[in-house]
Chains A and B, each alone.
Chain A
Amino acid sequence: EIVLTQSPGTLSLSPGERATLSCRASQSVSSSYLAWYRQKPGQAPRLLIYGASSRAAGIPDRFSGSGSGTDFTLTISRLEPEDFAVYYCQQYDTSPPFAFGPGTKVDVK
């Protein structure tokens, strides 16, 4: 079973700054079956990135994903007010259950 770790646990930044979030898998995630979600308080998660680097429909281009194998990155080029939230990575390799990472909280510095 693949285990995901995310770092840092909390990222304190200002609006307009660049955010770099990391997700590491305990074993290789084949075909880059790795997704990223953003969750605001009181809301369901929203899909941002799938296939490690493909932006979901309606997601602005300030969000980008990269990586392969065991190391993946979500980059937000310029933080907007709505981006201060919690971000989760998820692997969907092989068959369920699919692991989520523990999350990275991006808060206002």
Chain B
Amino acid sequence: EVQLVESGGGLVQPGGSLRLSCSASGFTFSDYAMHWVRQAPGKGLEYVSAISSNGGGTYYADSVKGRFTISRDNSKNTLYLQMSSLRAEDTAVYYCVKSSLTTVTTFFRYWGQGTLVTVSS
């Protein structure tokens, strides 16, 4: 059974940093691209970032480019999102999402339950 468990969310001040983690199990992690999608309170889904299976390709939404860094450790079956220069508008539930195929370009069958990041003073 595929499981994606996010951690690392919490309250952070504007301008601060936070690192999210996603522990994956139930599949061969190193075979699949991974993604982060977020959802601000009461709002819709916003695509954040993606990383290829070997980490060689990374992609970002314009809203986070230059501030967020996606990475992965295939030996630990873990996906990361390093967030810096955080703003109030980054407040959201962050979902870890598994690619349904081995490529980055695919739909999303498996989602984690999300971790809440709150940016506030």
Contact = CB atoms under 8 A, between A and B. Distances in A.
Interface of A: 33, 35, 37, 39, 44-47, 50-51, 56-57, 86, 88, 90, 92-103
Interface in B15-60: 35, 37, 44-50, 59-60
Given A96-B47, A101-B44, 13 more contacts: A33-B105, A44-B114, A50-B100, A93-B105, A94-B105, A95-B104, A96-B35, A96-B50, A96-B105, A97-B48, A97-B50, A100-B37, A100-B45
B109 interface: yes
Given A92-B105, A96-B59, A45 B47 contact: no
A44 B37 CA distance: 10
A51 B100 CA distance: 12
Nearest to B45: A100
B88 interface: no
The 5 tightest CB contacts between A and B, nearest first, are: A96-B59, A44-B111, A35-B107, A50-B107, A96-B50
A97 B44 contact: no
Interface residues on chain B, size class: 20 to 34
Interface of B: 35, 37, 44-50, 59-62, 95, 100, 104-109, 111-114
Contacts of A56: 109
Contacts of A99: 47
Given A97-B47, A97-B60, A100-B45, A44 B105 contact: no
B61 A97 contact: yes
A45 B45 contact: yes
A96 B48 CA distance: 9
A97 B95 contact: no
A100 B61 CA distance: 12
Nearest to B96: A44
Q: Counting chain B CB atoms within 10 Å of each CB, which of A33, A37, A50, A98 scores highest?
A: A98
